[in-house]
Each structure stands twice: as structure tokens, then as C-alpha cells.
Structure 1
Amino acid sequence: PIRLTSPPFYNPFAGKEEGHAVAPGTYSVTMYEYTGKEMKKLADPVKFKVEALDIYTMPPTQPEELVKFKKDVARLQGAIQGTGTILSDITNELKHVRKAISRTEVDEFSFLTRIITIENDIRDLRIKLYGDRIASRLDMPEKPSIAGMVGSITYESKNATSNPTKTHQDLYQRAKKGYAAFAKEVSDLLDEKVIPLRRDIQAAGAPYTPNALPEVIKF
């Protein structure tokens, strides 16, 4: 996900936010100047050529396919991180909802039951996405998580210059299939439980909570 802030100190061990190396070929670059009001073109496109150094033990037979695979993995990893952020946002929202219902003149029990159900659903979804931390600490066997599979591919092949291995290709397909089903569950959770809860607590006269669109008071 996009970050608008930077760490307050320099960490030499932190990874750089950079893309993957491009495939050999001819590219072009154009310079613009942004003055705060308009974007001004400074020069016409200038072409340049990227060539691979002849230093590889196992050079890729299809460089374009290697770049495509890395981009596909990066997109999947971005989707995973973004969906994880959504789950965190919902968790934070539920904390506000708990506080909000205590300030309404309604039966809190029914709302709390729905909140707990959503919290349990999020816990189960997190396990599917990131794995079971408790099981991991106890050295208990568990299935590879979606984020874990993609993380393995990224860690092992980010700077690789040879063709993607069969293991990495298989891991990507498993993670992609798993994420598709996972994203559907998150979408259903929002549509069937979270959004209706927002609407109902608002109808009950609860104070504003994050992600809820305030309604105009009708006199």
C-alpha cells in the first residue's frame, strides 16, 4: 500500500521501495517540470537501450515472461497487504462501535453479539491470510498461509535473473486461487455484516463512528 510518511530515522537494513528490473529492450524517457500550478514538458522523449550484462550463470530464456511473473507476484502481494489493512480498519472501527452503542438508548446485547461475531470472523480471516501465530509458536503443523506463500516467492526471487522455478510458479497459483476465495469472504463480511451494522447503529442514534457516512438530521 501507499505510505505518505517516512520513518523518522534511517534504517540501513530496511528494504528499498523499488520496482523490478526491466527486460532488455528500447525505452524512452521524457522530462517535465511541475511548478505547483501546471505541468510543463521540458523535452521530447529520448530513447535509450537496456542491455543485459553477460554475467549470468543461468540467463532467462524469456526475459519478458520473467518480468511479467515478478509483476504478477507484486500485484498479488499488494492486494494481500491492502486487504489486510481493510481488516485492521474494521477492527479499529468495531472498537469505536462498542463505545458508541454504550451511548445509545437501545439493548446493547444484540449489537454486542453482532460485533463479537464480526471479530471472530476477522480472526479466522487473519489466520487464512497470515497463518496461526499460536500454532507457529508451538511448532504445530499448519497449512501455508496466503501471505506466507507470496512472501516466500518475493524473498527468494526478487533479485533473481533466471526463469521462475516450478516451485515458485506453483506457489503463485496456489496463493492466487486462495486469495480470490479469501477476498470474496472479506467482501461478503462487509456487505452482509459490517455495513448493516453501521446502518443499524446509526438508526439507533449512535454517535459518529469511522467509515460511517453521517445522515442529515430530519426535523
Structure 2
Amino acid sequence: MPGQYSVSLESRVDGKTQRLAGPVQFKVNALGAEQMNEADRAALQQFQQKVSRLDRALTGAVQTGGDVDKRLTAIRQSLRDTPGDMSSLVARADDLQSRLRDIMRAMRGDAALRRRQENTPAAINDRINQIEDEERFSISRPTQTHIDSYNVSAQQFGEQLSKLRQLVDVDLKKLEDDMEKAGAPWTPGHVPEWSDR
């Protein structure tokens, strides 16, 4: 990304860091940037930064979703290993798994349909990747198509992130707390309760 940067060179040996050179300031210019006026260059840079922030948040949400999926798999196994009737907790875990799949499908797309070479609606990730690919070496203001695509992605991502937060921060935590009360085996990502009484 064009802008002002600095670089330094350091060596780390046996846990000790020694500066070898720098810091040296330098400026990165986009190829063809000299053809752009200052307002267009500023608009492009601002847009690229917005897209980058959305991509960063989307990447974190997708990773969180993947982690939660693993936790839910462990939860389902734990509930199978728990003596007694766990059907209501299993049903809640199934519901969380289903909701998580819907959230992940909106963010990443429908992998099952893609494997069968079916057309799929553009996922948030698809839109953002396309914008980044097409704007990376741009020497003009962002296109209206990219601005519109960003706005759709940001609005859809906000909705999915809200659903993911509800699922993780409220519903999953409540399920894990109820599993703890039921004496279910420990699952990853959950700090167990303990008392010697």
C-alpha cells in the first residue's frame, strides 16, 4: 500500500537483539500514481484502507467461526459421553451448529454447492477479495461498483458479526455453563468450575 514507511535491520542471537542498521524512512508510490491528482489518490487510499479493515475483521470472524465449530464438535461428543438424558442440551448444540453454518455460509460462501460446480451467490469474502484484487494496482478513484460492493459487504458483515457475537458470547457460553451443571466432561475453550465440596 502506498505511504510512508521505515525499516530497520536487527539481529537476534541467543535471545539478545542488536540493531544493525536503521531506521531508514522511505516512501512507497503506486505505479502510475503520478498520473493521479491528489484528491483521487487520497480517495483511493482511504477506500483501500476501509476495505483492508473490513477484510481484517472478516478474517477474524471466519477464524472465530472455525474455532467455534471445533468447540461444538467437542461439545456434541462430550454430551454423548455424559450419563443421563442430555437431549435438550444436544438439541441446543445442534441449533448452534446450524446457526453457525448459516453465518459461515454468508461470510465464506457455500462450499458444498461449489464442490458440485453449482452457481452460488457472492459471499462477503468473495466481494472483498474481488475488490482487493481489482483495486490493488489501481491508478484511479474507486469505481462505483466497488464502492457499492463494499457497502453491501459491510452491511451484510455487520449483520453476520452480530449473530456470531450472540452465538459465541451468549448462547454458547450458556450451553457450556449448563453442561457444567449437568456434569458433562470438559470441552476445549471452556474453563471448568471446581469446588472440593
Specify the TM-score bucket, using the shorter chain as the normaliser.
Answer: 0.7 to 0.9
Match of residue 72, structure 1, among 43, 50, 53? 50
Helix, strand or coil: the match of 1:30?
strand
CA distance change for structure 1 residues 61 and 28 in 2, over 3 Å: closer, same or farther? same
Q: 2:75 matched to 1:89?
A: no
Greater relative contact order (CA < 8 Å, ≥ 6 in sequence): 2
Q: Could you tell me the TM-score, scaled by structure 2's length? A: 0.81
Give, in angstroms, the shift of residue 166 of structure 1.
1.7
Report the equivalent of 1:160.
138
Structure 1 residue 200 corresponds to structure 2 residue 173: no
CA drift of 1:43 comes to 4.1
User: How far apart are 1:188 and its partner, in Å?
Assistant: 0.8
Please report how far the alpha carbon of residue 48 of structure 1 lies from its aligned counterpart in structure 2 after TM superposition.
3.9
The question of whether the paired residues in 2 share the 8 Å contact of 1:59 and 1:163 is answered with no
Q: Deviations over 1:73-120 (max 9, x none)?
A: 122112212211211221211111111112222312111110111111
Instruction: Name the counterpart of 2:35.
Output: 59
- 1:34 aligns to 2:12 (yes or no): yes
The RMSD of aligned alpha carbons is: 2.7
1:4 alignment partner in structure 2: none
Structure with the higher strand share, 1 or 2: 2
Q: How many residues get paired?
A: 193
Structure with the higher helix share, 1 or 2: 2
Unmatched segments (≥5 aa) in structure 2: none
Note the 1:177-216 alignment, pairs <5 A.
177-216=155-194
Normalising to structure 1: TM-score of the pair? 0.74
Instruction: Write the distance in 1 (CA, Å) between the matches of 2:23 and 2:35.
Output: 30
User: Which residues of structure 1 form unaligned runs of 5+?
Assistant: 1-19
- Whole-angstrom CA distance in 2 between matches of 1:58 and 1:49: 14
Q: Does the CA contact (< 8 Å) of 1:129 and 1:147 recur in 2?
A: yes
